[in-house]
Structure 1
């Protein structure tokens, strides 16, 4: 790296790859111009350093803080490793931030913690007031002994104040609604902790253990001590949740325009933004609000109960009316959607609410409910602070009224999808209302506009124009670096099996063909093989069909994927069956012998439920061109995310210039030769040009010969290769 490059000071290794050097220069220039960056780089090509190094160098020069964020747990560990390497090269102040729930030493919820903090801070403030009053009293006593009559009179007033403050302190101490650890944060000596914290890049677990040993609250120490740091590593929700983001920036001591955010695995930002923007109200909350109002003698309770009860009754009526014969009995413990949206008017719940409501006007009743809810919420907080309650009670009236107001205002807006949910509990079937946000840019555009710059990096961001539209980016810098490692060390085979549509998957002949391709791939791979399927059910199907010599592993939902990965990579000849929608399909490296071949079976289209169709309609309305033959809704909401998922899976192997391996796509929709015949069903055109140019179409029975030749050219066999 040229010594003239300012960011060379932060690059922790001898020399960057050529593409890294180029990317760092482009990113540095974009940061100066306050522009956003879309940065696609093939898996294993050093995107993290290429983004972090110029961001940290520019941030240090311009007084900015860099935040790098991900929704993949394994990536957080990689960020820590990279940050430690940078810190060894050029000392930086960095913090790794995790949610409060996993770092609380006394295991209380957010509301209780907030009230405990406030009460503890009140106690410390009063103790400081007492110390100041006692100092003042001593000064006045000395003056009065010297004959100052006014001092003697003033001393009497100060002593009265001292008595009042002492009584308040005694009451707070007796109530014990304080956090001892946070008290120690406020009154103890914390310099040693912060000196330790900034000597290296500390993990949340290390911070928790250190703070626990020192009898501090580590989470609050981070909040109070991260102002002006160079680098913060955190999860998506610190940026995508508007309420958390506001607090987070305040902890950083930075205005949004002084923050540079690097989004890792940025192809996931759209889905994450949708999830953070969606709002829900459970039937139990409505019931709790009615119970709360029934106990209130406030004049506003009756109109508040009127509007909330009407909404509750409309909710129950709507989901009960949706059940056909026998369907109510099939509802299980998981939330199940009940579609209520109507393209030509109000949703079913809103219609039922408006038809059933009687009174002075639901908006007037809602205003009464909101005002009373806010007052009750203040009372609950004060009662907890004063020790009159052992827990910080939440206010269901405020939650219910706020949601109903938003529902009636927003459920008709473009990009909003109103939906009900039902599930079975011990008391029977219950429901909830949800406003699902279909257009991610409603969340991301305001965020990107207020930040100094964002760097969105992923191995699968193209087509860039789709990413720009979906996230609401204006004129970003775009750059893509394809496979940077030697082409002769990889092969991508597109196997001409029948297209694995749902109607074909149960066909015994198709299963025999696909099973044979998998077994041939495993047998002719000198090491481990990953096999990805569109669902866990399909993975399990072929796991049980597998009869080869390799050790088979089955990844299942709700299992610890990291433990599975360690067991699998410890083998020398194993095959792992998993889902493309699981945690092992992206953000996880299988370097060198950890996995030599990767197989993707079928095209992993997501389950096309009513939500997905709502997203399609929203995308078509926002991005479709009138008169165009192209279905923008399908392309934006289904096809592009599906191809990205496939590309992510292919990127699990071949992670360095020395690494080598084979990628096998099992479905004729991936082939070049069938693209015209398959028409709109072909996904081959949706791959970037340089990637699809490497697809080698091959008959199922010829795959093993091709793999034998490739791995023989790599001198990969210990001893003789298997015989076809």
Structure 2
């Protein structure tokens, strides 16, 4: 039987188990015009399983593959895989980052746009001058040979030249980007030869351009046209405005794009962040200052709207901050409740009460118009060199937000939020208003509808029906591959420790049982132990109970490392994996729970303590309520709001965490879920065992806490893992 055509893009000698089948199934789905939901355990080779058939399909149909992730380590893996592919089947690949990480002069996006336009105008005008100068020289030669019409034409050209010179004189003070000027005026063919000679990272491009006084970001944009593969971050696809420009740079219609999302279980939260909008009290104050200086008939109408909204914001959070609450406000944003079940939110009601004008809709539209005019004027001043920086129009930002707040704030899935924080410089408390998007499919379904096809892949994408409904994926092929490595090389224990409900975490007996379980897990691990907790605070609590970070008071527990929100995670990870018989305590909601491999001796045992539900907040309750209403007809036995918004994301996080070990066919280790809710005990609605995929449920072995050490001893002894005599129970 002949080999599948897409295997020409497979860069290695032999596919992993299941990988050949996965590639064939992805290829068939793409040929049928289907999206793909693809869950694969470590060892499936998900990236190449999706990328290889996608590249073949794109080559066959003149399309471009865009592969994206929000995990830095995965971005590096994409580059390695793309480089391997180019040595098998040459492709043109570009790795793209945002302007802020590639700008040589440190200006923001809008300022860059203005600089670029001004620079291009100067270069184009200089080009016009050169053409006219060449033309006048030709006409001069013709007139000297006796051509009277040439002399007359030359006079007209000279008049045009004078006008061009005047334009250039006026442009002399214009603000331009010297690096972009060099892009436009130098021969840059060598860059593109270098770019496609291999797969270059954004850092490679930056260094190349830095050495040659060029703008690497703009060069990279020019090099994206019609390429085979683009590697990028989520926001290039999930932000509708950025996506439109991004596809334009690739010079592809959306229907000519195949998107591949890695770690696709994160798309939900990322899309929600991109869809949400916010406005601070500082921006409202700045907008009012702009209006005070504006000589425009629309300024009074704009002030009516913006001042009333600003004062309503202050009134709303002032009333929510009870006695002593203002003094307790810290440097981080803290939400205050403003939503109501039976009417519009408190901020909107305060705004309507304070507003005095000719009509909110009318005056808001006038404010948007004025903001647009001011924004254009700021751009002209910067372009013409009248200002050293490109001023952002605060009126335009404020007016557009108020317009969206009033038009969309009461829609299903839109949740109004007011937050406060303390200014570290002035010590003043100020506010922020946010239109929080609870249901992300408003963003994602449009993307999946407009592109040719999408592959969403993750080790924890199931249940597929939840993924389909939350993201708005239609007509999808579904692929799921369990771990293909030998089952005898792993054990997954559900340990019957007391359930760590929030109300029980301070119970001394519960803490003692959990601490003893952790002590046994660490002692009987021949190597490093990785422990995930529901929060950094819980990690710190149990580190203290066991003796403190780095303590050697109990030599059987080795050295412990404590991760935290203010810790350099990459540094502590490196220190941990370089150590022997060490333990790392961290949060499951931190950055080490996914996208990071702990291969072989890096971590032999992984422990998840408790069921790490996200912190209950107004936002989480709003998402839960929105999902409950949006998916009430799905037929699920449990409340769909709880299932979609809380339980499924939490179990995905747990599965990601235990997937940090057993990363290869020869690897071995123990995964421990320490909480009664993971066991087969009847915990009613609190049981979570049923939320795991069937094959993972079958591997869960229930153990009482006191039996864990014996089970671990037997497993690791069978693998001859202990260096010297094993520990004694």
Under TM normalisation by the shorter chain, which class is it?
A: over 0.9
TM-aligned CA deviation for residue 45 of structure 1 = 2.5
2:722 is matched with which residue?
A: 717
1:694 aligns with 2:699: yes
1:554 aligns with 2:562: yes
Which deviates further from its counterpart, 340-349 or 269-278?
340-349
Counterpart selection for 1:352 from 350, 353, 371: 350
1:236 is matched with which residue?
A: 234
2:430 is matched with which residue?
A: 430
CA distance in 2, matches of 1:628, 1:22: 32
1:587 aligns with 2:587: no
State the secondary structure of the residue aligned to 1:17: coil
TM-aligned CA deviation for residue 296 of structure 1 = 1.4
Counterpart selection for 2:605 from 586, 597, 603: 597
TM-aligned CA deviation for residue 247 of structure 1 = 0.7
Deviations 1:638-681 (A, max 9, x none): 01111110000000000111111100111111012x1x2x1111
Counterpart selection for 1:214 from 193, 199, 212: 212
Contact 1:45 1:656 in 2 (8 A): no
TM-aligned CA deviation for residue 151 of structure 1 = 2.1
1:45 is matched with which residue?
A: 44
State the secondary structure of the residue aligned to 2:82: helix
State the secondary structure of the residue aligned to 2:592: coil
1:655 aligns with 2:667: no
Contact 1:43 1:652 in 2 (8 A): no
State the secondary structure of the residue aligned to 1:126: helix
Which deviates further from its counterpart, 423-432 or 305-314?
423-432
CA distance in 2, matches of 1:170, 1:295: 31
Unpaired segments ≥5 residues, structure 2: 547-553
State the secondary structure of the residue aligned to 1:289: helix
1:285 is matched with which residue?
A: 283
2:307 is matched with which residue?
A: 309
1:294-373 paired onto structure 2 within 5 Å? 294-373=292-371
Q: TM-score, length-normalised on structure 1? A: 0.98
CA distance in 1, matches of 2:660, 2:419: 36
1:265 aligns with 2:263: yes
CA distance in 1, matches of 2:626, 2:658: 30
Contact 2:16 2:43 in 1 (8 A): no
Unpaired segments ≥5 residues, structure 1: none
State the secondary structure of the residue aligned to 1:273: helix
TM-aligned CA deviation for residue 3 of structure 1 = 4.6
Which deviates further from its counterpart, 699-708 or 604-613?
699-708
State the secondary structure of the residue aligned to 1:83: helix
State the secondary structure of the residue aligned to 1:492: strand
| Cα distance, 1:628–1:573 mapped onto 2, change above 3 Å | closer
CA distance in 2, matches of 1:639, 1:92: 42
1:179 is matched with which residue?
A: 177
2:191 is matched with which residue?
A: 193
State the secondary structure of the residue aligned to 1:89: coil
TM-aligned CA deviation for residue 326 of structure 1 = 1.4
TM-aligned CA deviation for residue 532 of structure 1 = 0.3
TM-aligned CA deviation for residue 176 of structure 1 = 5.3
1:119 aligns with 2:127: no
1:637 is matched with which residue?
A: 645
1:407-556 paired onto structure 2 within 5 Å? 407-425=405-423, 426-427=425-426, 428-546=428-546, 547=554, 548-556=556-564
Contact 2:17 2:484 in 1 (8 A): no
Contact 2:143 2:150 in 1 (8 A): yes
Counterpart selection for 1:623 from 631, 635, 649: 631
Contact 1:224 1:251 in 2 (8 A): yes
1:128-207 paired onto structure 2 within 5 Å? 128-172=127-171, 174-175=172-173, 177-207=175-205
CA distance in 1, matches of 2:566, 2:138: 67
2:575 is matched with which residue?
A: 567
Contact 2:530 2:606 in 1 (8 A): yes
CA distance in 2, matches of 1:215, 1:70: 31
TM-aligned CA deviation for residue 500 of structure 1 = 0.9
State the secondary structure of the residue aligned to 1:462: coil
Q: TM-score, length-normalised on structure 2? A: 0.97
Which deviates further from its counterpart, 74-83 or 2-11?
2-11
TM-aligned CA deviation for residue 72 of structure 1 = 0.9
CA distance in 2, matches of 1:335, 1:585: 25
Contact 1:44 1:654 in 2 (8 A): no
2:686 is matched with which residue?
A: 681
State the secondary structure of the residue aligned to 1:115: helix
| Cα distance, 1:306–1:181 mapped onto 2, change above 3 Å | same
CA distance in 2, matches of 1:611, 1:462: 24
Which deviates further from its counterpart, 429-438 or 499-508?
499-508
Contact 2:17 2:44 in 1 (8 A): no
CA distance in 2, matches of 1:628, 1:532: 30
